[in-house]
Homo-oligomer: A and B are copies of this chain.
Amino acid sequence: MTQTASYPVDATNRVKRAHERGAYDHETVHLLLDSAMLAHVAYVIDGQPFCTPTLFWREGTRLYWHGSSASRMLRNLSKGEPACLTVTHFDSVVLGRSAMHHSADYRAVMAFGQARLVSDPQEKAQALTMMVDRFFPERTALLRPMTVQESKATSVVVMEIEKASAKIRDKGIADDEEDYALPIHAERIPLHTVIGTPEPCVRMPAGVARPDTLAEWADGRLLEKTLRRAYASAYAVPA
C-alpha cells in the first residue's frame, strides 16, 4: 500500500451531497476502517435489502467478517454477492441557530465489492486467527486451540474492496452568516465511545493474571484509539 493509492471513483461511490466531504485515498479510508470493530453490511436477497451489524477487520484491501449471517446471505459462493460495508464514527451533534443547520459531525466509510465465503484452508486459518488477534494482539496463542469442528462450524466472509469512499464532516457549527447575531444558544456536543471497566470472569482459577497484551483495553480509553493501536500491533505497521 502506498500512501497516495486511491480507490477508483464512479457513480456507485462518488460522494454526491456535500462532495467536499469526500475522500477516496487508501490512507483515509483504511484509517477509519481500522479505528472500528462494528460495521453494518448491506446485501440483497430476492430484491429485499438487509442491513446486518457485524464485527469486521481489514487486511490490505480486503475486508473480513464473521459469516454468521452468511447462511441466508451468501447463496452463490462461487461468484460472490454484491455487498456494501459501512463504518460510521459518530463524533458530535451540532445544534445551530436554525433547524436547517442542526447537524452532526461524523466520519464514515462505505466500501463496495463482492462478498464471498473464504474457502481456501490457509486463508481461512489465517482469518480465524486474525478475527481474534486483530483486536486483541497475540491472544490466540494464549487460548485453548480451536478444534476441527469449531473451524468447520465457523464461516468467514471476505470482500475485496473494489470501490470505497470516506465522508467526513468535522466543522461543528456552520450557521447562516446573518444568524450568528441572533440571541439563540448554539453548541456542539461531542460524543465518545469509551471502554468501561473490564470485568474478569468470576470462574477463573486462582492466579490467572490479565495478559499485558490487553493493556490497551483500559478503562476510560477511546475505543477507536485502542482499535487503531491493536491494528498496528497485529499487523506490525506504525500506530
Contact (A44, B49) CB under 8 Å given A185-B204, A196-B191, A223-B191: yes
Contact assessment for A132 and B185 in the assembled complex, using a CB-CB cutoff below 8 Å: no
- Considering the complex, give the chain B residue whose CB is closest to the CB of A194: B192
User: Which of A24-32, A143-151, A231-239 touches B?
Assistant: A143-151
Give every chain B residue within 8 A of A90 (Cβ-Cβ): 37-38, 53, 193
Partner of A184, one of B43, B52, B131, B142: B142
Count the copies.
Answer: 2
Q: Is A5 an interface residue (CB 8 A)?
A: no
Q: Is A195 an interface residue (CB 8 A)?
A: yes
Q: In the bound complex, how far is the Cα of B193 from the Cα of A104, in angstroms?
A: 15
A164-182 vs B, CB cutoff 8 Å, 1 = contact: the mask equals 0000000011010001111
Give every chain B residue within 8 A of A195 (Cβ-Cβ): 189-191
Contact (A51, B53) CB under 8 Å given A189-B196, A196-B189: no
Contact assessment for B201 and A186 in the assembled complex, using a CB-CB cutoff below 8 Å: yes
Contact assessment for B172 and A186 in the assembled complex, using a CB-CB cutoff below 8 Å: no
Partner of A146, one of B92, B100, B135, B204: B100
Q: In the bound complex, how far is the Cα of B40 from the Cα of A217, in angstroms?
A: 27
Q: In the bound complex, how far is the Cα of B51 from the Cα of A136, in angstroms?
A: 28
Q: Is A61 an interface residue (CB 8 A)?
A: no
Give every chain B residue within 8 A of A121 (Cβ-Cβ): none
Contact assessment for B193 and A191 in the assembled complex, using a CB-CB cutoff below 8 Å: yes
A74-111 vs B, CB cutoff 8 Å, 1 = contact: the mask equals 00000000111110101011010111101010101010
Please name 13 pairs of A and B residues whose Cβ atoms are closer than 8 Å in the assembled complex, sorted by A: A38-B90, A44-B47, A48-B82, A49-B49, A51-B86, A52-B110, A53-B88, A90-B193, A93-B217, A99-B131, A173-B201, A187-B199, A188-B198
